[in-house]
Amino acid sequence: HPPFDVHAIRRDFPILQERVNGRQLVWFDNAATTHKPQSVIDRISYFYTHENSNIHRAAHELAARATDAYEGARERVQRFINAPDVNEVIFVRGTTEAINLVAKSWGAQHIGEGDEIIVSHLEHHANIVPWQQLATAKGARLRVMPVDDSGQILLDEYRQLLNARTKLVAVTQVSNALGTVTPIKEIVALARRAGVRTLVDGAQSISHMRVDVQELGADFFVFSGHKVFGPTGIGVVWGKREVLEDMPPWQGGGNMIADVTFEKTVFQPIPNKFEAGTGNIADAVGLGAAIDYVNRVGIDNIACYEHQLLEYGTEQLKRINGVRLIGTAADKASVMSFVLAGHSTEEVGRALNDEGVAVRTGHHCAQPILRRFGVETTVRPSLAFYNTHDEIDRLTTVIRRLAGQR
């Protein structure tokens, strides 16, 4: 699409033509899930029409096609995040399963009594609960990097938390509740200097900025396909080869074995060691098509356009009396979380829905960070590159009316 043409892009997403309560849909719930371009919908349909088969096992034409399509998707992921080795890309159901895989496999092996795991106050429940479960099972301790009043991580406080008992730092690149872009490179670098492994939750960053896992330097990077214009039910664990090779499988079954007797099983090398059973082949292929689409638009064009949109939306919201923005860090992506004085977040959400504007209201699976700001829920419009300035005006018109302003 060069140069960036949002109206051309919008024509690629059929659902954006949908009418809701008599109005054209405005989709501002991109942090929850993103919509799919026609090319992704078509690719999945093509798979089931022409390629559908289980992979790896049968020696027939469709098995070969399905395997090629699936492994082609793995290569697309590899290039998209600049992973050095395609076998470091493991397909899972999503970010939640990805983090659970690392906790159940790497965590069970490396976390012991008295050890410490550091997360940030910003984390989604998916990057809290698995570590808490692990810590409880092992007698380890979960520690929390605090944030300042803008919702940005306090690096000095984090530095103080790192110590000889720290075994893992697990932190998000972008907060789904506030939109904070964390200083992830510094966070990882400090951990590495202390000899501590790192996991980066990329669920919210992957669709908004260029991700280069080699530049990040983390041991694990995880994300969900559905947040980057791909299908649900597919996601990725990327891990450093030597780290993954050293980890035990977390699930056993077909696909992941080299040889099985009743006495003993020899596992496949990575990535198959971590992909027990029949995977989500079609949706992996769909994710590959989503990556192709993003590459055609250009992730840097996307980041630049979205930044303008976020600044515009933030400015418009700030002008409305009674709006309190939660999360005002200098570096943000996509999310404008707020509350409106005198109105519950549910009320605001309903009023927006009545006008065809979809936002999430609630705790956004990140209760600790909302409570840090003294609220239980917020209204959370979240942007993607197919959104427009006009759509932001439709949102702020409703909020202004609720606030009793014109």
Least distance (Å) from ligand PMP to the CB of residue 207?
11
CA–CA separation, 76 vs 91, rounded Å? 12
Least distance (Å) from ligand PMP to the CB of residue 58?
31
The pair of structure tokens assigned to 377 is 């829920």
Contact 357, 26 (CB under 8 A): yes
Contact 122, 110 (CB under 8 A): no
Least distance (Å) from ligand PMP to the CB of residue 94?
3
Contact 216, 223 (CB under 8 A): no
Q: Which of 365, 373, 388, 397 is catalytic?
A: 365
> Crossing angle of helices 281-297/61-80, nearest 10°?
40
| Choice between 94 and 249, CB closer to ligand PMP | 94
Q: Is 365 annotated as catalytic?
A: yes
| Choice between 126 and 190, CB closer to ligand PMP | 126
Contact 348, 159 (CB under 8 A): no
Q: What are phi and psi of 379, to 5 degrees?
A: -90, 130
Number of residues that make up the chain: 406
Least distance (Å) from ligand PMP to the CB of residue 182?
11
Closest CA to 393 of 355, 364, 345, 362: 355
Position of tokens 């932190």?
171
| Choice between 166 and 176, CB closer to ligand PMP | 176
| Choice between 43 and 380, CB closer to ligand PMP | 380
- Judged by the rule CB under 6 A, the positions of this chain that interact with ligand PMP are 94-96, 124, 126-127, 172, 176, 201, 203-204, 224, 365
CA–CA separation, 356 vs 20, rounded Å? 5
CA–CA separation, 87 vs 266, rounded Å? 18
Least distance (Å) from ligand PMP to the CB of residue 290?
14
Please, which residues have CB within 8 angstroms of residue 255's CB and are 6 or more apart in sequence?
56, 57, 268, 272, 275, 276, 277, 278, 279
CA–CA separation, 256 vs 277, rounded Å? 7
CA atoms within 13 A on the CB side of 392: 23
The pair of structure tokens assigned to 373 is 């700001």
Q: Give 294-297's long-range contacts (Cβ < 8 A, gap of 24+).
A: 294/80, 294/207, 294/228, 294/229, 295/80, 296/1, 297/1, 297/4, 297/9, 297/385
Please give the DSSP secondary-structure letter assigned to residue 268.
Answer: P
Query: Active-site residues: which are they?
Result: 365
